[in-house]
Chain A
Amino acid sequence: MSTSSELRIMRGREWSRPIRPARREVLSAVPELEEGRPPLLFVPGFGHGAWVFAEHWLGHAAARGFPAHAVSLRGHGGSEPAPEATLRAYAHDVVQVAASLPRQAVLVGHGAGALVVAHALARYPARGAVLVAPVFGGWRLLGAALRRNPGGTVPALFGGPLRLNRGQLFSRELPDEEARRYVGRLGRAGRRAQWALLGAPDAEPAVGAPPVLVLGSPDDRVVPASTLTRVARRYGSAPLLFPKMGHDLMLDARWAEPIDAILDWLEKEPAAR
């Protein structure tokens, strides 16, 4: 799980086999008054659509003066169906939306969306990046998922959907009814992208040396705390922790704490301003 340190200029495969365009859903909330803050682009994890950020985080970020956008990766939410999508296609979607924004954007990835962001960072010089409860794949993560939710995990190994349950995603503070509604809206990622979680090619180094913040919950049932520490160390920092929250920090009962921490960090970080 190390990022390869070498810059790759020759991209024969990307040149000769460009990603096929797909219609993308982008949800936005922009502040009433343009304050010159960098735009944020939220990238949901596998199975999640842009709606997970539209529930609370987009509006909250806009209220604090940040133009906020969320993209549904192809095959998710309101974007075009794409059963054969790869990790590279997802990263392409993110870079396309980021480059379409009027100014250099901050990329915020959640879950496996953080892995997509790590790959997008090698193709787009983001102003900064935030990895929320990052799922970077690997056998340890698979072990945890099999222990907590064998019924939802085993089919994914054979190309079926990866299904996460309420206990993995949310804390008990979230009312049952809401949690059920959220779980019911989840979709699935392409099988090739799901398999990439087991043997994901390491992301190339980020271009433009953006500052990277890693945050998550020590009580996350999908991403163990040790993984958070490892991912943060890769980017030269320590993770910011929010105890007693589930994997879906943007939907859980105390959703305001992590987004406030992210925005505070952006306001303080000189390179991301």
Chain B
Amino acid sequence: MSTSTDHGRPDPEATSSASGSDGRPVSDRGDTVCVIGAGASGLTAIKNLREHGFGVDCYERETGVGGAWNWRHDRSPVYASTHLISSKPFTQFPDFPMPDSWPDYPHHSQLLSYFERYADHFDLRSHIWFGTEVIRVEPAEGERWDVTTRSTGGYGPERTSRYAAVVIANGHNWSPKLPRYEGLEQFRGEIMHASSYKDPAQLRGKRVLVVGAGNTGCDIAVEAAQQASRCWHSTRRGYWYAPKYVLGRPADQVNDSLLALRVPLRVRQWLYHWTLRLTVGDLTRFGLPKPDHRVYETHPIANSQLVYYVGHGGIGPVPDVARFHPYAVELADGREIDPEVVIFATGYLPRFEFLDASVFGDSAGAGRPTLWLNAFTPGHPTLAVAGLVQPDSGLFTLSHWQTVLFARLLRARRDRPERAAAFAQRVRDRAGERYSGQVKESSRHWFEVGHADYLRAVERALVELEGK
């Protein structure tokens, strides 16, 4: 399964016959595929493309693999205590299981060692250019792509290489989304986004307000309850706080037993509400707002400790923030609190600063691409995005199958062009499809998918591409 481009690296002296849109020399990389990013999705893209016989050049701005899960990386959002919120079977790559000796919910440092072992096991590092960032990706003739790179930080010359295809795996949890509040500039306390929260020592002995009830917000609120002198937790609405274990097993495994039996959504919702009533009970008696939606309609929050600390008085649930004063924060219900530290666990937005937004059908520049299967963009059959999904389970299984599908699509373009053309038509027809039940409309849920619905859709796409 070797190709002529196996061990080559873009070498400006070797080939510079073509020239880019502005006349700069372009080194032609033939059938090689470019992968942007060596995080979880990028690594599985390299592995699966190689497995299908393609040469790969991967560009990684950092000096190690693991992307968001490598705490040494400046774009990594992990904090000291980050653990998985989906259990092992839903988190691991489907063809490279995590060790039996690991717990149900591994720690982020285990995740990093998992990706490092994956990279070594499948010999992926020799295809990765570390310390190299991609600054431009432009369409070239013949549905190929010109990728311009330079050393991370802007040093050194720019270099453009032409690729047969591109996989974008730059992650979507590194560009903080900060809401606007009246008076935030005047606030005299410390303000930080959850992305710069690393260690509970930052909270010790302080009065802390945590804004946002995503999984990160809940984790930080729990740590504040343990370390800070006071903790308020502000949420826009009531949520369903699911425990990590129910009926003696990881909760997602119990949920999937029902999915495997194809129990309808309404019945699952009823069972879920009933299970929560038996375990955590009615949360409104703690002052938490009643959820304004059914379970499964927002991204699931798996946190066994939040309710525990609310019940012990460690966390004071408060409504949305109305405005900031220099020494106080005014809440939506008119109350005023006086935190020293405010942490915004308000999430992230995807960013593709190297790509013209119109390529993704996002001419408004809102940052929300229009894609099929959250991966394929109409009119650009040789471009795929890997890992731009927010599943109600682990992400890596989904990235794996996305990149398998893309590798097989590239193979079909060579061997069975009529199949590839039919696929391109389906991308145009179905771009923007959703793979979840009804969800709350907010940028939080742009990429929300139910893992079962999504993987069934990918399976169908594979069968349509290759079946009889």
Contact = CB atoms under 8 A, between A and B. Distances in A.
Nearest to A122: B95
B363 interface: no
B285 interface: no
A125 B1 contact: no
Nearest to B452: A10
B120 A18 contact: no
Interface stretch (A94-102, A220-228, A251-259): A94-102
Given A12-B256, A17-B257, A102 B1 contact: no
A268 interface: no
Contacts of A7: 459, 462
Interface residues of A, number: 32
Interface string B104-138: 00000000000000001111000000000000000
B69 interface: no
Contacts of B97: 92, 95-96, 99, 123
Majority SS of interface residues in chain A? Answer: loop
Contacts of B88: 18
Contacts of A12: 256-257, 259-260, 452
A35 interface: no
A121 to B, nearest CB: 10
B96 A17 contact: no
Given A9-B455, A103-B123, A124 B95 contact: yes
A184 interface: no
B3 to A, nearest CB: 12
Given A14-B89, A15-B90, A99 B96 contact: yes
A125 B51 contact: yes
Interface in A77-126: 92, 95-96, 99-104, 123-125
A104 B94 contact: no
Given A10-B459, A15-B256, A271-B1, A103 B95 contact: no
Interface in A228-273: 270-271
Q: Classify chain B: how many residues form its interface, as a range.
A: 20 to 34
Interface string B450-465: 0010011011001100
Interface in A1-56: 6-18, 21-22
Majority SS of interface residues in chain B? Answer: helix
B406 interface: no
A90 to B, nearest CB: 14
A18 B87 CA distance: 10
B123 to A, nearest CB: 7
Nearest to B92: A99
Contacts of A95: 97
Contacts of B99: 96, 99-100
A65 B120 CA distance: 20
21 contacts: A6-B463, A7-B459, A9-B401, A10-B452, A10-B456, A12-B256, A12-B260, A12-B452, A15-B89, A15-B260, A16-B255, A16-B260, A18-B88, A21-B100, A99-B121, A104-B123, A123-B94, A207-B95, A208-B95, A270-B1, A270-B2
Interface of B: 1-2, 51, 88-90, 94-97, 99-101, 120-123, 253-257, 259-260, 401, 452, 455-456, 458-459, 462-463
Top 9 A-B pairs, shortest CB-CB distance: A12-B260, A21-B100, A16-B256, A16-B257, A9-B459, A15-B89, A16-B253, A18-B89, A208-B51
